[in-house]
Each structure stands twice: as structure tokens, then as C-alpha cells.
């Protein structure tokens, strides 16, 4: 019985790894499935509104989103993930994949901007007033700077503010920005650095203390989107990227806290 259960769990776990399953190419009524590899901070906007909106125009297309840190997605694409569109939270990962010839650079659009903010839990007893007060927290959640754009931006801002060394000793590195957000919401970390859009997704659990000071971030927090060269659905993928630039899509993004670049 335990063996059956163990096998069942094994298969279901293996199946859940397939974030973007390979698509069926059928002849006439073009039932298509495209795979969007998008930064974790985009998940809510996509899953709650944008994909449905896209389906109003293109009902025969199934959009499967896989969301994680842009670094992880870059790894997966390099490892063979059959994504059709890549929407990263920083230019670093997009540039890297472009250099490695995965990206159809004609389709690239540096579409959105986001803000980097310091957050605490709504139940927090800490008295933080500005971004630099992050050092008052006993434990801090950040994205792993090696792979999470939110972590990269946090590191850059804190380094420019001469606070990185101190923060680093108390920082827990999350594997993606949503994890960081949840860790602050749960209170495990007393403070964290995420995007304004993430903070806005949990207004009852976290509150924004301050934005990263304007002069601390030289790299603009820009989200580029592009289609992949070896996509088997490049027409539909390009249509999706076109859709993302449309007024009504931008309206949705702005609703979630992003701004047009």
C-alpha cells in the first residue's frame, strides 16, 4: 500500500515538474499550446487576467505559464525547456540568452518597469521609516543575487548605500521573489526586499516601508519580453508578445503595479 502510494507520489511529482508540456501539432483547427516562461512577479497578472484576455481573441490557443526566478528560467531554457516566450524581470537573463542565440531579438521589447521596495509584515513591531532602516531587522529575506533579479537589484541598491556587507550577514536568500514575499508575510524574516507589485498582491499581510532610493539603482528595473528562436509556434508567440503591448494589456499590468517602460 505504501509502495503504491510512494509510486503515485513519485509520478505526480515527476509530472508536476513538466511546467510546460510539449504541444500537439494538429492539422486544421490549430489547437495550439504555447509556453510562457515568465518571472515570478508576473504570475498574478498573467494567471488572473492576461491569459484569459488573450484567449478572448485567440480561443484556440492554450497558454501555459511557468513562473520562477528569471535565473532559474534561463537555466531551464538553456537546459532544453521548450518555451515560446520569455519574459524576464531583468535585462541580465534576456541578454545572456540572446548572446547564446536562444532569443529572436527582433521580437524583443523592454516592456515594463517595476519598483524595488522594502517590506515588513503587517504584524511587525519594527519601526522602520526609510529603505536604509533595513539594517534594523534581525533577519532579512532577499532574492538570491546570483539568480533572482529582485535580489540583484537589492544587492545593487544596498551596495551603493554601503549597507550590503551588514545586510548580507543576516540575509536569507530565496530562490525566487515570491518566496521572499511569503517569508516576510509569514514573519520568518523581519524584513525583505521585493517588487512593489509583489507587495501589492498581499496588502493585508505585508506593508511597504519605502522604495529603493532613486540614485541607489543604476540599473533600471526593466522587464524585457521576447520570443524564442526555436519556438515551434513563433506566429502565435509573436501574436502573444504583440498582445502584451496592447493598451488593454498595459492597463492590466498597471493595475498590478507595473509601469510601462
Partner 1 sequence: MDYSPLIVSLKTASFSIVITFIIGILAAWLVISRKNEKVKMILDGLFTLPLVLPPTVAGFILLYIFGVYRPVGKFFIDVFNFKIAFSWPATVIAAFVMSFPLMYRSCRGAFEQVDPNLMDAGRTLGMSEWKIFWKIQFANARPGVLSGAILAFARGLGEFGATSMIAGNIAGKTRTLPMAVYSKVAGGDYDGAYVYVAILIVIAFIAIVFMNYFAYKEGKKGKRK
Q: Name the site residues for partner 1 (rule: CB under 8 A).
A: 2, 5-6, 9, 13, 69, 71-72, 74-75, 123, 138-139, 141, 144, 146-147, 168-175, 183, 186-189
Question: CA–CA distance from 199 to each of 42, 118, 202, 207, 259 (Å)?
Answer: 13, 9, 6, 7, 15
Burial (0-12, 13-18, 19+ Cβ within 10 Å), 201: buried
Instruction: Write down the least CB distance from residue 253 to partner 1, Å.
Output: 26
When the beta carbons of 26 and 127 are compared against partner 1, the nearer one is 127
When the beta carbons of 191 and 237 are compared against partner 1, the nearer one is 191
Instruction: Write down the least CB distance from residue 124 to partner 1, Å.
Output: 10
Question: Among all chains, which residue has been given the C-alpha cell 492590466?
Answer: 252
When the beta carbons of 124 and 259 are compared against partner 1, the nearer one is 124
When the beta carbons of 58 and 173 are compared against partner 1, the nearer one is 173
Burial (0-12, 13-18, 19+ Cβ within 10 Å), 239: middle
Instruction: Write down the least CB distance from residue 101 to partner 1, Å.
Output: 17
The span from the CA of 102 to the CA of 93, in Å, is 11
Radius of gyration in angstroms for the set of CA atoms belonging to the chain, rounded to a whole number: 19
Instruction: Write down the least CB distance from residue 201 to partner 1, Å.
Output: 19
When the beta carbons of 139 and 259 are compared against partner 1, the nearer one is 139
Q: Which of 209, 175, 217 is nearest to 193 (CA)?
A: 209
The span from the CA of 145 to the CA of 183, in Å, is 17
Instruction: Write down the least CB distance from residue 146 to partner 1, Å.
Output: 3
Amino acid at each position: 500500500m505504501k509502495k503504491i502510494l510512494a509510486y503515485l507520489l513519485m509520478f505526480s511529482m515527476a509530472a508536476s515538474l513538466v511546467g510546460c508540456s510539449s504541444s500537439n501539432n494538429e492539422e486544421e483547427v490549430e489547437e495550439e499550446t504555447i509556453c510562457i516562461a515568465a518571472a515570478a512577479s508576473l504570475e498574478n497578472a498573467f494567471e488572473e487576467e492576461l491569459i484569459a484576455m488573450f484567449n478572448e481573441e485567440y480561443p484556440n490557443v492554450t497558454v501555459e505559464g511557468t513562473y520562477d526566478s528569471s535565473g532559474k528560467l534561463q537555466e531551464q531554457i538553456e537546459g532544453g525547456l521548450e518555451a515560446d516566450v520569455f519574459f524576464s524581470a531583468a535585462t541580465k537573463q534576456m541578454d545572456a540568452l540572446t548572446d547564446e542565440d536562444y532569443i529572436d531579438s527582433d521580437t524583443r521589447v523592454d516592456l515594463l518597469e517595476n519598483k524595488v521596495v522594502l517590506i515588513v509584515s503587517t504584524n511587525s513591531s519594527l519601526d522602520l521609516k526609510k529603505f536604509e532602516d533595513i539594517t534594523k531587522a534581525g533577519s532579512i529575506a532577499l532574492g538570491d543575487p546570483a539568480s533572482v533579479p529582485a535580489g540583484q537589484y537589492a544587492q545593487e541598491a544596498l551596495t551603493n548605500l554601503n549597507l550590503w556587507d551588514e545586510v548580507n550577514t543576516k540575509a536569507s536568500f530565496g530562490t525566487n521573489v515570491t518566496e521572499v514575499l511569503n517569508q516576510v508575510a509569514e514573519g520568518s524574516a523581519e524584513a525583505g526586499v521585493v517588487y512593489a507589485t509583489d507587495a501589492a498582491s498581499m496588502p493585508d499581510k505585508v506593508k511597504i516601508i519605502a522604495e529603493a532610493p532613486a540614485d541607489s539603482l543604476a540599473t533600471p528595473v526593466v522587464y524585457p519580453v521576447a520570443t524564442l528562436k526555436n519556438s515551434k509556434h513563433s506566429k502565435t508567440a509573436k501574436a502573444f508578445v504583440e498582445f502584451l503591448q496592447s493598451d488593454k494589456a498595459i492597463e492590466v499590468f498597471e493595475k498590478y503595479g507595473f509601469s510601462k517602460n
